[in-house]
Structure 1
Amino acid sequence: MVQLLIVLLYCIVLRCETKELHLTTSDEGYMTVIQGFAARLECMLNTCVRHASTVIWLKDDVPIFNSTKFLDSSGVDANSVLLQHNIETDKDKECTGSCSDTDTCSDGSHCVDNKCCQCASEDFTLVLKNLTFEDAGRYRCQISNQPQQLEFQLEVLESGLKGGFHENISYDYSKCCAKKRNFTVMSGNV
């Protein structure tokens, strides 16, 4: 009984290593994008995870990515989708321990230069390129073994623009950007 009390007290005072996982985004839940353009759906995890939990991307309830692995069975064109995966380490905390490709760090840490560094966040941003009408639908980013999820509704609109529309566009920069600070912007055609 005393040992259990000591462990509980240790967890309360020193805040046990287990960190509750949650997802965040700066994106809106509903996006309208023009056909042929791209969309970014941001999904940030508040720490790093290894095996116990993975982040999954789904389109209309069909998995597209399991962690960073693209799933061919999703029916989504692999050339039109990209997962930007980035890990940000906590710069205020010192890296400790040693690690390698075979000897990984614990959850909440990431291997950087063979040292375990505490994570600030892990980014799983889904990029949809050259959008078509088939790309419209409901996209979800979720933690595999928890109910935590972010949901995005994507609508793709017809562009109405003809090919080569930008070839005859010019802009005179001199009207807005005469002389600023120590440099001058020259006028010209784009």
Structure 2
Amino acid sequence: MKRSTKISVVLPVRDGENRITARVQHVLEAIAGLTREIAEVVVVDDGSRDATPEVMEEIRSRYPQVRVARHSRPRGMEAAGQTGLERATGELVFIQESDSDVRIEDLQRLLKMSEDRSVVAARAESRPQPLSPQLLRRLRAWGATASEPNPQPEQPTTAPSCLQMVRRPHLQRLTGNAGKKIRLESETMRSTSIS
């Protein structure tokens, strides 16, 4: 089911001339199936020293829903995320915490959580982990073919993916005078998925 809430996705990048185009296209394709409105992607260049600024301008000229911001010097991915949040215009703002691909499953999970209007902000973190031997035995018992994990697990080939969601109207209320009187509660939810 497509949503009618305007979404912004913030992608920080540094020295990403060879990967930023694919990342932006991946996100644009994914959000096209999630919202009725035109969603925006805000790409924040964190002081790249390669051709990333030129590649981003070319992306911006091809896709009107892409906005670009740039730090003149590296300030860090957290600062790039903050810049993206400030420039985003969506009611729901999703911020990729690192210079990596957005896991669409995390985006969908956070969108589902946003249906609860009391949720001000949420975060999804995905860490690649090997399947446990017990789970592998259960899968094989059901007829699945699965290989044994290495006795000494290798380092994961992909970095953890962390995505934040912030509801802009709630954030604006929290930063005003009334925000000092609001009590925030936190909850951790864990889930597993096989990809």
Interval containing the TM-score (normalised by the shorter chain): under 0.3
Q: TM-score, normalised by structure 2?
A: 0.25
Q: Which has the higher strand share?
A: 1
Q: TM-score, normalised by structure 1?
A: 0.26
Indicate the structure (1 or 2) with the bigger Cα radius of gyration.
1
Task: Choose between structure 1 and 2 for higher RCO, CA contacts under 8 A separated by at least 6 residues.
Answer: 1
